Every structure is written in C-alpha cells, then in structure tokens.
C-alpha cells in the first residue's frame, strides 16, 4: 500500500480509502440487453438460487452473492457478463445511440465494447480495437457469446489508427479506456502495486496521451470522447486530459453520475490543470465499495 501514500493529500478520508483498498472486491455482472431484459435476467438468477442486489445508479448492474458469476445459467445463456461495477461507468457516460459509429480504442477483453453495443440496441457500428493480439481472441469470444452483431474487431496501435478500411472517415463517439498502472484494481488484484514505479507511470502516460489525441482527431465535430482509467495517478488522468486540451480542439463536459465521487483535480505536484478538469470524476473504493476509476467526458469542438 506504500505507493498509495502519495494520494493522501487528495483523497477524502484517506484511512477509509486504505481500508477499502485492503478489502476483497465483491462480484458484479452486467445484464446483456442484446439477449434479454433486466427482468428476465433477474428472474433467471432467482430460479438459480443466486442472491443479488441491483445497483441504485444502474439497474443493468447486479451485485451477486457468488464467487462464480460465470457458472450461473444467466451467464451460460449470455444474459449476464461478469464486469466490475465501476467498469460499467464509462460506456454510460459515453451515451452511445442506435445507428451511430463508435470507436472503442482499447477494447479487449470486450466488456465495455459489448456494453456499448447493447446501449446502441445492437444497431450502428462499434469498432472494437486493441493493440494486443493476444487479447483479441477474448474480445471476439465475448462479442460472439453476448450476441453483439454490430461490432467489428481490429488489431492496431490506437495512436496512429487508420479509418481507411471503413466506408466512413469519422466516428460519432469514442471511448479511450486506456492501459494504465491499474492502481484502482488492487481489491481484485492484490499484486497490482508489486511492480509500481513512477517511471512506469511516466511511460504509460505518454501512450495514453497519444491514444486520446487520436480519438479526438478521429471523432466528428460535436462528437463525444470519454477517457477513463482504473488508476488514481493524476499523471495518467488529469495530466493526460490537460495535454489533449492543449493540443487538440476539445473541451471537458459535465455529466451526471449516480455514484458518489470526487471532482477531478486542478493541481498536482506543482502542475496546474484547467479548471474544467473539476468536471471529471474520481471514483475511490471507499465511496461506493467498488474499485477505483477516473472518467472524463470531452466534446470535440472542431
């Protein structure tokens, strides 16, 4: 937990934050509305004897009283998909609409990409990309299991992504759920901080900046780009968005979120960020008994 001490000045109730980080994470699933309704999925779980609670902020997210969410009949039929509760936030903030063209820049293993497809009623086009060829098989498997037929899988470096294979040259919306230092996953992965270093944070933040810049460039004027990570490091969160604000034509938008959260930072370690970064959301583990996440919503302005 020592690396997390650097966040003591920015986290409310830091001792509660640390205590939450030490607790194992509960089990959550997302109802896959491509194949079923929330009512049918919950009825299937009840028939299977699986206890659950619906998340107040999103009725499609269920907290299960089981350690084996993939062993339920609901999962077998593709009615549910194991997905950490807070991981379901970025697609909701993105708010994709049926018929649109949406890019998930870092999509594997496919939880958010298939959630986007479901939010679009499986209409339109979701381009699910990942640079890691070894993870593409999991992305394809989840798309097929969950019945996402509007989803195309690509394997490319998102930093210089080309739309030449497609019949369109801009996306309506883009999600950058960026590769990161994963500090916020410590509850499900106790080894998350084992190889932590500030050098790694500096290295990965450069990749994040490149991907987010390309997402803004590839999205139509007036379109939406959501940037998210599962880490607490401001170097990977506000600093990345700040860089893109300075380099590309975009602005930070406000958004409603039914989960408790802290606002984004406007200063860290001597670096000042645009005041609009306060519109971003920092979700800490002790806020809602979840993992940690950062989410910012951008509008492309030109």
Mark the binding-site residues, compressed into ranges. 106-112, 130, 157, 177
Among residues 21, 180, 182, 230, which one is catalytic? 230
Count of residues making up the chain: 302
Q: Phi and psi at residue 165, in whole multiples of 5°? A: -70, -10
Cα distances (Å, whole numbers) of residue 12 to 35, 89, 263, 293: 40, 21, 11, 15
Sign of CA dihedral 128, 133, 138, 141: positive
Q: What are the start-end ranges of the E strands in 56-207?
A: 58-64, 80-82, 101-104, 125-129, 151-154, 171-177
Whether the Cβ atoms of residue 226 and residue 175 lie closer than 8 Å to each other: yes
Is the CA virtual torsion 55, 106, 220, 171 positive or negative? negative
What residue ranges in 130-218 does DSSP mark as E strands?
151-154, 171-177
Tokens coding 18: 């640390």
Cα distances (angstroms) measured from residue 302 to each of 51, 162, 175, 210, 219: 49, 19, 18, 18, 9
Residues tagged in the binding site annotation for S-adenosyl-L-methionine: 106-112, 130, 157, 177
Annotated catalytic residue 230: yes
SS3 (DSSP) at 189: coil
In order, the DSSP letters of 251-287 are EEEP---SS--EEPPSEETTEE--GGGGGSEEE-HHH
CB 294 within 8 A of CB 281: yes
Are 79 and 43 in contact by the 8 Å Cβ rule? The answer is: no
Catalytic machinery residues = 230
């Amino acid at each position: 937990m020592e690396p997390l001490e650097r966040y003591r000045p920015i986290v409310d109730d830091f001792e509660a934050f640390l205590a939450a980080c030490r607790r194992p994470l509960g089990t959550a699933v997302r109802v896959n509305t491509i194949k079923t309704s929330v009512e049918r999925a919950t009825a299937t779980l009840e028939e299977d004897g699986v206890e659950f609670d619906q998340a107040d902020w999103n009725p499609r997210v269920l907290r299960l009283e089981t350690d084996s969410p993939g062993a339920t009949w609901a999962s077998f039929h593709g009615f549910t998909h194991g997905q950490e509760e807070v991981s379901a936030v970025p697609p909701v903030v993105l708010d994709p609409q049926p018929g649109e063209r949406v890019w998930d820049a870092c999509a594997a293993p496919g939880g958010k990409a298939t959630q986007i497809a479901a939010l679009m009623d499986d209409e339109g086009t979701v381009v699910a990309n990942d640079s890691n060829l070894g993870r593409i098989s999991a992305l394809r498997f989840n798309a097929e299991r969950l019945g996402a037929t509007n989803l195309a899988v690509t394997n490319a470096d998102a930093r210089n992504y080309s739309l030449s294979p497609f019949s369109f040259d801009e996306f309506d919306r883009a999600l950058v759920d960026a590769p990161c230092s994963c500090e916020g996953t410590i509850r499900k992965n106790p080894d998350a901080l084992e190889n932590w270093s500030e050098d790694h944070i500096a290295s990965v933040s450069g990749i994040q900046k490149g991907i987010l810049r390309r997402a803004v460039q590839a999205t139509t004027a007036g379109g939406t780009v959501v940037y998210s990570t599962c880490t607490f490091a401001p170097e990977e969160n506000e600093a990345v968005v700040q860089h893109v604000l300075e380099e590309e034509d975009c602005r930070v938008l406000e958004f409603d979120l039914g989960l408790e959260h802290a606002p984004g930072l406007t200063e860290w370690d001597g670096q000042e960020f645009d005041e609009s970064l306060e519109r971003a959301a920092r979700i800490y583990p002790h806020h809602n008994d979840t993992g940690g996440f950062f989410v910012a919503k951008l509008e492309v302005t030109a």
